[in-house]
Structure formats: C-alpha cells, structure tokens
Amino acid sequence: MKRLIFNTLAIIALCTIPIFSHAQEPLRLTLEQALEIALSESNTVKIADMTVEKSGYAKKGSYASLYPNVSVSSSYQRTLKKQVMVMDMGGQAMEIKVGRDNNINASASASMPLVNASLWESLKLSGMDVEMAVEQARSSKIALVKQVKQAFYAVLLAQESHNVMSQVYENAQKNYEKTMQRFNVGKASEVERLRAEVTMLNAEPNVSSAENAVLLATWQLKAVMGVDLGTDIEVAGNLNDYTSQMLSPYTLENDLSNNSSLLQLDIQDRMLESTIRMQKKQYLPTLAANINYNYSAMGDDKLSWFPSSTAALSLSIPVFDGFQKHNAIKQSQVTRNMLALQREDAERNLRIAMRNYNDQMALCVKNYEAANATVEIAQKSYDISAKMYEVGKATLVELNDAQLALQQAQLTQAQAVYNFMVTKASLDELIGKE
C-alpha cells in the first residue's frame, strides 16, 4: 500500500514539473505590448482617468444650481410651563397663560433661480474644468509612453552591451587557449601567456557588470509599466530592428499645435476669459422664485391643524459693493495678461527644444553611419589579426588592440541607435504625438 502511494505521488510530481516550468517562463514583450500593458496597468494612467471622472462629477454637481432646491422640515415642541401675561382689567390685574401644551410644525419649500447670468457663466467654467482634466490625462499618457519607450530602449542597449562583452570574453578565452597551445610547444613566451590570461580575467567582470545593467534596466521598465517587480519579463528584439526607422527620410518637426503644455495654457486663458465675463455679469440683476407650504398644529389635549402657503419672487439689484467686483475684474485681466506672456515664453522654449531634438537625431544618424563603416573595418581587422596571431605573424598586443577597436565600434553603433530612439521619443512627447 505504501509503495502504491509513493508511486502515485511520484507520477503527480513528474506531471506537475512541466506545468510549473511553463508557468515560470519569462513574459516576452514587444514595445507595443509593453505600451499596452503600461496604459492599462500604470497607476499614473489610473489616477489621470480618476481625475477626469472626478471633474465630470463636479460638473454635474454645478448644474444642480439650475434645478429647484426642495427642502422639508418638521418640529415638535412640548410646553413644560406656559408663559404668563399680566393684563389690567378694570383696575384689577389678571394673569393669562399663553400657548398650548403641544406644538407641531411641518413645512416644505422650493426655490430656484430664474434669471442669473453670472450663474450660467459659471456653468461654462465648470465644463472647462473637465476639458482641462481630459487634457492633463492625455499629457500623463503621452509622458508615460515616452518613459516606457526610453526604458524599453535602455534594456535593448544593456542587452547589446552584454552581447558585446560576452563576445569579447569568448574571444579572450579562445586567444588564451591558442596562446597556451603555442606556449606548450615553445612558440609563445611566458609574457604572452600571462598577458592572454590577464586579458581573459579582465573581460569576465565586464560580463557580470553588463548582466547587472540588463537586470537594472529591466526593473526600471517594469516599474514604469506598473507591473509587479517580481514578474519575470524579457524584451523582444534588438536595437538593429530600429535602424530602418532611423535611416528612413523624415521631415523636421515644427508643429506645436498638439503640445499638451500649450493646450493647457490655452484652456487656462479661456477659463480666465470666462471668469471675467462671469464677474462682469455680477452687475446684472438676479431673479429667483420661492414657494413655501407650512402645516402647523397646536393644542393641549386635542390638536387643531392650520395650513398656510406662500409664493414669492425675489429680485436683487446690485447697487454698490465698495468696488469689489471692479477690482476683481481688474485682477483677472492682469492674470490673463501674465498668462499670455507665460505662453509666449513657453512656446519659445519649446521651439528651441524641438530644434535641439531634430539636430540631435540628425547627429545620431551621422554617428551611426560612421560607426557602421567602422564596425566593418574593425571586424576585418580583428579577423586578420586573429589569423596572423595563429601563425605567429602578429603579437597578442596587436590582437587585443584590434579587439578593443571592434568592441568600441560596436558599442558606438548601438549607442547611436539608442540615442536616436530616445530623442525621438522625447520629440514625440513634445509635439503631443499619441
């Protein structure tokens, strides 16, 4: 019986091992998938959406002032000791108790504005608050897209650096083995053997540092995406996948019509304009309607009910307020003029940044083209040096120099692609590209 149970448990364990292994496979993501996850899971986007929702409720709440305001109230009063009035009746004082033991009152009232131009303008202002919240949410999403792209490219750059360092380490190992073979047959000196060993040992920490850089860049990407840091992910593709995009002809960007910062300043200007109109309309009369219905009862043992109702129109005409509204209007006008100057400065700085991004992207293209040609030459130089070293016609120093030149050319090439894509992501954010 025990053997049967043991065999059953062993079969279950063997069956669950593939499932567990499959569950632990890293999630391989493309850039598009990373952006999709970030836009659905990031707290930044969730907060921005909640802000829009909150502004929507605030707008709906402001429209409540257009509807009748209805209230109902009631009260009960028990007289513990009645008030006594003293009256002179024919030269004699007479005491009279006033009031009843029980007093009940119930009333309902309704009021609403009929003419209030300032109120109507304030409702338009509430609508602009929602528009501002929507634009701020769009700005948050555009900024998040830039952050995810740059973090994604950083992982690709770290992986490319790791590949280069791993290749350098493998070449150093091969060179060390070849040097040992030559040393064993007396064709290499002790100095060459030691130099080859030192080169190999120096290359190993670079591989470890590159691995740590990949891990750190991946953690940064997960943090920006808004996923759990314990989630195992891998980035699909490499920087070479973006060379065609970098080398394709493109026109210089100069359109700021979708820039979120300028759009928000424009919305603020319209809000200030609406505020000034609202303040000016406070000089106009207002008209409101009010209806009240009251039902009261009083008595000692038996209650007597007495209904009453009123309907009224209330007209309010502002005459003089100590120039309060006048000064408020002047203050809003000065604030709007300040905002116009701020927008002018903001647009000027944004155009400088746009020109800088365009120039940086053009420089990255030139650097890539130069590095691409250098990589081909450095690869040929290294291959020739390796073959010459095998036959003893080149020294280890010459081989190491050729390998170092190849390593620098490969890293420069990857760095050029990375710089181009990171700059392009910043430019897309600046122009408000979604």
Q: Where are the domains of the chain?
A: 26-66+117-283+320-431, 68-115+285-317
Split at pLDDT 50, 70, 90, the class of 10 is very low
- Please state at what angle helix 260-281 crosses helix 324-390, rounded to 10 degrees: 180
Q: How far is CA 33 from each of CA 19, 36, 234, 332, 418, rounded to the nearest angstrom?
A: 24, 5, 12, 47, 19
Tokens, residue 8: 């059953």
pLDDT higher than threshold 70 for residue 5: no
| 103 and 296 Cβ atoms separated by less than 8 Å | yes
Give the residue carrying structure tokens 């760095």: 415
Which range, of 9-13, 142-146, 178-182, averages the lowest pLDDT? 9-13
**For 298-319, what is the mean pLDDT?**
88
CATH fold for domain 26-66+117-283+320-431: Outer membrane efflux proteins (OEP) (1.20.1600)
Q: What is the pLDDT of residues 382-417, one digit of tens each?
A: 888 888 877 777 777 787 888 888 888 889 999 999
| 376 and 411 Cβ atoms separated by less than 8 Å | no
Choose among 270, 287, 254: nearest CA to 114. Answer: 287
In terms of DSSP H, where are the helices of 76-189? Answer: 117-184
CA distance 192 to 177: 12
CA distance 147 to 138: 14
Alpha carbon dihedral 160, 161, 167, 169, in 10-degree steps, equals: -160
What was the pLDDT predicted at 24?
A: 56
Q: How far is CA 202 from each of CA 5, 198, 214, 419, rounded to the nearest angstrom?
A: 55, 6, 20, 28
Split at pLDDT 50, 70, 90, the class of 13 is very low
Q: What is the pLDDT of residues 338-358, one digit of tens each?
A: 999 999 999 999 999 999 999
Mean pLDDT of the chain: 87
What was the pLDDT predicted at 20?
A: 36
Scored b (16 or more CB within 10 A) or e, 385-422 reads bbeebeeeebebeebbebbebbbebbbbbbbbbbbbbb
Long-range CB pairs of 313-317 (<8 Å, 24+ gap) are: 313/114, 313/287, 313/288, 313/289, 314/287, 314/288, 314/289, 314/290, 315/285, 315/286, 315/287, 316/285, 316/286, 316/287, 316/288, 317/285
| 344 and 350 Cβ atoms separated by less than 8 Å | no
Residue predicted with more confidence, 15 or 410? 410
Choose among 324, 288, 291: nearest CA to 309. Answer: 291
Which strand ranges, in their side-by-side order, compose the sheet holding 286-299?
69-78, 102-115, 286-299, 304-316
- As a whole-number percent, the residues of the chain with pLDDT over 90 amount to 47
**For 190-219, what is the mean pLDDT?**
90
Start-to-end C-alpha separation, the chain: 67
**For 185-214, what is the mean pLDDT?**
88
* Confidence (pTM): 0.79
Q: What is the pLDDT of residues 228-241, one digit of tens each?
A: 888 898 899 899 89
What was the pLDDT predicted at 248?
A: 85
Split at pLDDT 50, 70, 90, the class of 19 is very low
Which range, of 57-61, 128-132, 389-393, averages the lowest pLDDT? 389-393
